[in-house]
Structure 1
Amino acid sequence: MSHHSTNPISEEHPAHPLSALGWNTRVETAFDAVAHNAPHVLLPARVSEARRGAVGVRLPGHETAALSPEVRRAAEADPFTAPTSGDWVAVRRSGDTWLVEAVLERSGTLVRQGVAKDSHDQVLAANVDAVLICEAADQGPNVGRLERFLSLAWTSGAAPVVAVTKAELAGDRLPEVVELVESVTTGVEVHTVSAHRGLGLDELSARLRPGATWVLLGTSGAGKSSLLNALAGRPVMETGAIRDDRRGRHTTTHRQLIAMPGGALFLDIPGVRRIDVPGDGSGLERAFADVNELAERCRFRDCSHGAEPGCAVRAAVDEGELDSGRLERWFRLRREAGWNRSRGDARLRAERRREWKRNTREGREAGRLKRGL
């Protein structure tokens, strides 16, 4: 006598082989759009780590995939399009090699602003649901840096969460450190943790729902690798020694996708030393929601928050409700965002001019060849 499953739903709708890697209906729709008219049989895969000229992918098994000529040319023209950790891609088999034929539409993309005149923005991680920002309790905290990280996270569309790491090293200063962090993290969860003593790990682990993709963000020495190892319950990342200047050495030199015991996924990226505020001001508005809320109460819509009468922002500073340092950083980051936005527009215009000139030259050359010249 044969035995059948007592769960007909699981029989009719078996789990997708890539469900453990975050596969969902949005990704499925994006893949179907690419695969529908493709001349080759394509399979979906998720990028686990980016390498020079190739990527590590999960199918769900681990494989190395080279970039197809089309994907490689696109990445050379604009590094923003190059596949990176967290990306979903369409791959095919070519002899003994896997080839990435397309990078699927992204969601929740963590992007670092290009820092040179002709530089492109850099995708740090793709398809991210949440960003875990690590700030070491024994090194500050650096609230200006934290505000930049929050702005970057909010701009991505992912939800930021802050972990005050190395709590055991802060001593009597810990309450002061946590209070300072909370003062600049409006609407953001703050967890005080110690990877070595287990403090706060259960509460943070409860936030890691199955299938969700997180990215670790913080400077070198912020305790990212130690925290990830503690959350995983086993060594999944190499940890590095702290230098005499209390800064950590880079222990992560490439991006990789790490599966956690509860089903969540972590993208670990190298420690980020410089973060320019994105030209898209939406993340900055979320990071400074308290200041923006005050600005809405000003008497004049175009209030510059200087000497105008009826300025709710200046009144809050005078009454001790808003820290003057936070206000000054808001001014500075707004100017920086505006500059980056204008620079990005100028770069786009320059790229369009170069493309127009290239097409014009190619058109002239084609005309000469047609005339036999």
Structure 2
Amino acid sequence: MTRDYSQFMPSTGTPTPTTPKRSALEILGWQPFFATQVDVDTLSATPPVRVTEVHKSGANVKGDGFDGLIPPSLDLAVGDWLLFDEALPTHSVLLERKSLFKRRAAGHAKHYQLIAANVDTVFVVTSCNADFNVARLERFIALAFESEVAPVIVLTKADLCEDTQPFIDEAQAISDRVPVIALNAKEGDVAGALSDWSAPGQTIAFLGTSGVGKSTLVNALFGQEKAATKGIREDDARGRHTTTARQLHFTENGLGVLDTPGMRELQLADAEAGIADLFSDVVELAAQCKFNDCAHETEPGCKVRAAIEAGTLDAARLERWRKLAAEERHNTATLAERRAQQKDFGKMIKTVTKAHKGRKGRR
């Protein structure tokens, strides 16, 4: 069936005073950023679809009147947009991403794991209990800054805490660029609390550890159970895994909502800019030190140590910056080395194959 995709191209005229009904693609998050990458003829031949789930068996995609599976071939993330080739699905074209969350794969693996693409706002979720951890929150915020996605810290289980203010104060001290909200996801007005970042056509994601209430927030936004939920363990306030795969859901008015499994480990790589943005106060002080290679320990003219002694910089924050920056440099170098080895191995295979063909030709 031939479809008219001209309505999905960027508008060049004067906006009409009435708001038209949102199209099927707009409900899936189609925006001018993606439309400017293609023309109408391309859209007609290879209509756009969005990745809603990624499995070992392939990727679930949705489009205008289409809901199907693409066999595994492309390196896809939930939230990606593709130009779907019906005849050869594995030849579908991946559109440029607005944003991309990725991390070094958990464990000892030396490769990246794609988390989500084309997210507009990420809600970093944590609980007002023993699971609250500033260093962990900083990792998520640095990841968001690196991905150029607006982060918001959401403190859940406020109803189970006698005083939420200490948690709010610690969270707000992480960055003056990150809003902080505390709520009870089971009884409060979640949609209202998140409305400033949940406009139709936007895509939001919930990131955090297990059991902090991400799935409960998703269900509250939809007014129905979209994701399974469980309580937390009483012995350590840690959560139980409920969500087992990243899933992108859509509300009727066109808000994309991404629920993700809890992350026990978040190793950053290729995130130097995100860490610098998060710790901009430390970076600015370090730039004023007398020596360019100042280690911020006993060197004369160290502005960082001076700030700590004056009480304007927390020594613990400096140590977290050092640790995270060192980890990021190590991971980035390790993954770069792995890519170089794979590239050299590929060249060797091509050389051996070419030489083998040459010998066969001389027989």
Aligned to 1:63: 67
Counterpart AA for 1:350: Q
> How far, CA to CA, are the matches of 1:85 and 1:157 in structure 2?
17
CA shift digits 1:82-129 (9 cap, x unpaired): x221011122334xx966623222221000113466532010001111
**Is the counterpart of residue 128 in structure 1 residue 135 in structure 2?**
no
Q: Secondary structure at the match of 1:57?
A: strand
- Do the aligned partners of residues 63 and 46 (structure 1) sit closer, same or farther apart at CA in structure 2, a change above 3 Å counting? same
**Is the counterpart of residue 212 in structure 1 residue 205 in structure 2?**
no
Counterpart AA for 2:25: L
The sequence identity of aligned pairs, in percent, is 36
8 Å CA contact retained: 1:192, 1:200: no
**Is the counterpart of residue 313 in structure 1 residue 317 in structure 2?**
no
Aligned to 2:145: 154
Deviation at 1:20, TM superposition (A): 1.5
> How far, CA to CA, are the matches of 1:275 and 1:118 in structure 2?
13
CA shift digits 1:184-203 (9 cap, x unpaired): 13311111111123167523
> How far, CA to CA, are the matches of 1:240 and 1:34 in structure 2?
48
> How far, CA to CA, are the matches of 2:175 and 2:15 in structure 1?
46
Mean CA deviation greater in 359-368 or 190-199: 190-199
Aligned to 1:89: 82
- Do the aligned partners of residues 262 and 313 (structure 1) sit closer, same or farther apart at CA in structure 2, a change above 3 Å counting? farther
> How far, CA to CA, are the matches of 1:98 and 1:121 in structure 2?
24
> How far, CA to CA, are the matches of 1:297 and 1:361 in structure 2?
54
Aligned to 1:25: 32
Aligned to 1:4: none
> How far, CA to CA, are the matches of 2:336 and 2:275 in structure 1?
19
Q: How does 1:124-273 map to 2 (within 5 A)?
A: 124-172=115-163, 174-198=164-188, 202-244=192-234, 245-260=236-251, 262-273=253-264
- Do the aligned partners of residues 231 and 14 (structure 1) sit closer, same or farther apart at CA in structure 2, a change above 3 Å counting? closer
Aligned to 1:276: 267
Deviation at 1:132, TM superposition (A): 0.8
Deviation at 1:175, TM superposition (A): 0.8
> How far, CA to CA, are the matches of 2:256 and 2:343 in structure 1?
38
- Do the aligned partners of residues 345 and 240 (structure 1) sit closer, same or farther apart at CA in structure 2, a change above 3 Å counting? same
Counterpart AA for 1:349: A
**Is the counterpart of residue 299 in structure 1 residue 287 in structure 2?**
no
Deviation at 1:29, TM superposition (A): 3.4
Deviation at 1:53, TM superposition (A): 1.9
Counterpart AA for 2:58: A
**Is the counterpart of residue 53 in structure 1 residue 57 in structure 2?**
yes
Say how many residue pairs are matched.
348
Deviation at 1:261, TM superposition (A): 5.2
8 Å CA contact retained: 1:114, 1:122: yes
Alignment RMSD (CA, Å): 2.7
Deviation at 1:8, TM superposition (A): 9.2
Aligned to 2:314: 323
Deviation at 1:49, TM superposition (A): 1.1
Deviation at 1:15, TM superposition (A): 6.0
Structure 2's unaligned 5+ residue stretches are: 1-13
8 Å CA contact retained: 1:220, 1:272: yes
Counterpart AA for 1:325: A
> How far, CA to CA, are the matches of 1:206 and 1:256 in structure 2?
22
8 Å CA contact retained: 2:230, 2:240: yes
> How far, CA to CA, are the matches of 1:295 and 1:233 in structure 2?
48
Structure 1's unaligned 5+ residue stretches are: 1-6, 76-80
Q: Secondary structure at the match of 2:53?
A: strand
Counterpart AA for 1:351: Q
CA shift digits 1:307-338 (9 cap, x unpaired): 12222211121122221111111111111111
Deviation at 1:17, TM superposition (A): 3.5
> How far, CA to CA, are the matches of 2:324 and 2:314 in structure 1?
16
Q: Secondary structure at the match of 1:304?
A: coil
Counterpart AA for 2:278: A
**TM-score, with structure 2 as normaliser:** 0.87
Aligned to 1:43: 47
Counterpart AA for 1:87: D
